[in-house]
Structure 1
Amino acid sequence: MLIRRDDDGTVATLTLDSPDTGNAISVAMAEELASRASEVAGDPAIRSVLLSANGRFFCVGGDVKAIGAAGDTVGALLDSITAPLHAAIATFLHMEKPLVVAVNGPVAGGGLGLALVGDIVLAATSAHFSMAYTGIGFSPDGASTWLLPRLIGLRRSQELALLNRRLSSDEAASIGLITRVVPDAELPSESCSVAAALANGPVGAHAAIRRLLLSSGDLSPEHQMEAEAHNVRSQAIGAEGQEGVAAFTQKRKPDFLAAGRAG
């Protein structure tokens, strides 16, 4: 098992668990990741997902040793890796629940897309980030060319992709690549705390926020506002919105878990 799943109430934690390889993305790991992503996305008991990794590295990217040994079959091998990897990332992007990523160590190559796909990305102080592709004569994958310009702009993305510059976790936070930096020893508890807070929140609103933010780069302002109006109306007449407004007027903490069960 290369992707471990552990559930704590309404939070599912997926852990990249191949520390001896630096959590390199092999065919088997990519396939397991796609399967696990689909599993948690479709589990109605799960209200938020935490993606983490075991070992010194978060993910070093593709399995370069296997790629080097593939010879004339390298194209087919890469297809076998990128297809499930991209399916997993697409699932994480579009699922109806938020994703927290805990980046425990260095990230490179295909691991970058996995690290950045989260709604909240917490990185250990010791983590660092690089695209790495041009070092072996490759172009990027793992949705990094879609995620990076949206997160940090075209100019910074060009520099990272073309010059393969490494970013410390502090610099990554300063330019908006990640959410914030957490001391190494505190990363597990802090990431679990954030995932739990999201799980206790209004998951319908979270899903709407995710959809609206994803569409914001493609729609005109008028069409985006139409989408906003539709979603806020749906939330207002639904169980979560009713509970949130009632709690506000009654000066108490809303119980979105109960509202979710009622809805």
Structure 2
Amino acid sequence: MTPTVHRFAAIENRDGVVWIWLNRPDRHNSLVPNLISDLKSALTDAAQQKPRALVVTAKGSSFSTGGDIAGFLDHRASLQDLKDYAQELVSGLHGIILDLIDFPAPVLAALNGPVTGGSVGLMLAADLVAMAEHAFLQPYYSKVGFGPDGGWTALLPDRIGTGRALEIQYRNKRISAAEALRMGLVSAVCPLSELEAQISKWVEDLGKGSSRTHLATRQGVWDEARRETVRQRLDQEKDRFLELVALPETVDGMLDFTRKRA
């Protein structure tokens, strides 16, 4: 089928499997409201196609570097504007994470490059994750002064343990692909050139089983009680993010981070 292309997302149905690409490669697929909106639309389109599986990946050299600092700084003249922008972005991202958790088919993620900041939530909401061997995960929140969002406190501790999740934040620890595999955060690590082949192998394996069973399994794991807990935790993350983002020292942290990256 011919791919549908939004400005910042692309969607294609490949033999009953829907692929979605984050499509802002010139900014390393960093998150802005327009990308979130396009991704939301793509997920709605994907669900309507009733696919056998959903694959989330990205164009370019990074999967996503999280919230675009430049977008926040564009709204720093007014603290209220900055908070309103942050509210739109973080609420949208968290809505996407919940949409992925609610998706009516297995969700696979193909991490083609670094995953930092809140974009880790797109990975944490997936059932099977393949990661390119050069890719890594890293929070970066303490380098700027943000509160963690995207599931770093809402989802990650349940996956790897509270102590390890806290250490990663406190030390801004970079998690290599090999370490992510050891932690159980990803299911496979491979060269970038083999990433799509790994996803195709999983899709083949899924096709050998009952799609009704897969859906029942997913709905059993992500039952209403668990989804409600995640919603509440994501709301807590958002509230703390909004508390911190408009502090003068956080604005200074964003400016300093931008200068260092430049």
Return the TM-score normalized by structure 2. 0.78
The letter of the residue matching 2:59 is N
Equivalent of 1:95 in 100, 103, 117:
103
Say whether residues 1:149 and 2:163 are aligned partners: no
Alignment match, 2:63: 58
Number of equivalences: 218
Equivalent of 2:215 in 207, 229, 239:
207
Per the TM alignment, residue 94 of structure 1 is displaced from its structure 2 partner at its CA by: 1.2
Per the TM alignment, residue 39 of structure 1 is displaced from its structure 2 partner at its CA by: 2.0
Say whether residues 1:166 and 2:171 are aligned partners: no
* Greater Cα radius of gyration, structure 1 or 2: 1
- Unpaired runs of 5+ in structure 1? 219-263
Alignment match, 1:123: 131
CA contact (8 A) 1:11 1:196 kept: no
- Unpaired runs of 5+ in structure 2? 1-6, 227-262
- Structure 2 CA distance, aligned partners of 1:214 and 1:159? 27
CA contact (8 A) 1:11 1:199 kept: no
CA contact (8 A) 2:124 2:151 kept: no
CA contact (8 A) 1:107 1:128 kept: yes
Closer, same or farther: CA 200–43 of 1 in aligned 2, 3 Å: farther
Return the TM-score normalized by structure 1. 0.78
- Structure 2 CA distance, aligned partners of 1:68 and 1:12? 35
Q: Give the superposed CA RMSD.
A: 1.8
Deviations 1:26-83 (Å, cap 9, x if unpaired)? 1100111112112212323x12000011111010000111111211211111111122
Per the TM alignment, residue 148 of structure 1 is displaced from its structure 2 partner at its CA by: 0.5
Closer, same or farther: CA 181–25 of 1 in aligned 2, 3 Å: same
Per the TM alignment, residue 154 of structure 1 is displaced from its structure 2 partner at its CA by: 0.8
Deviations 1:131-167 (Å, cap 9, x if unpaired)? 1112110111112322211211111111112221001
The percentage of counterpart residues that share the same residue type is: 29
CA contact (8 A) 1:33 1:84 kept: no
Per the TM alignment, residue 193 of structure 1 is displaced from its structure 2 partner at its CA by: 3.0
CA contact (8 A) 2:108 2:199 kept: yes
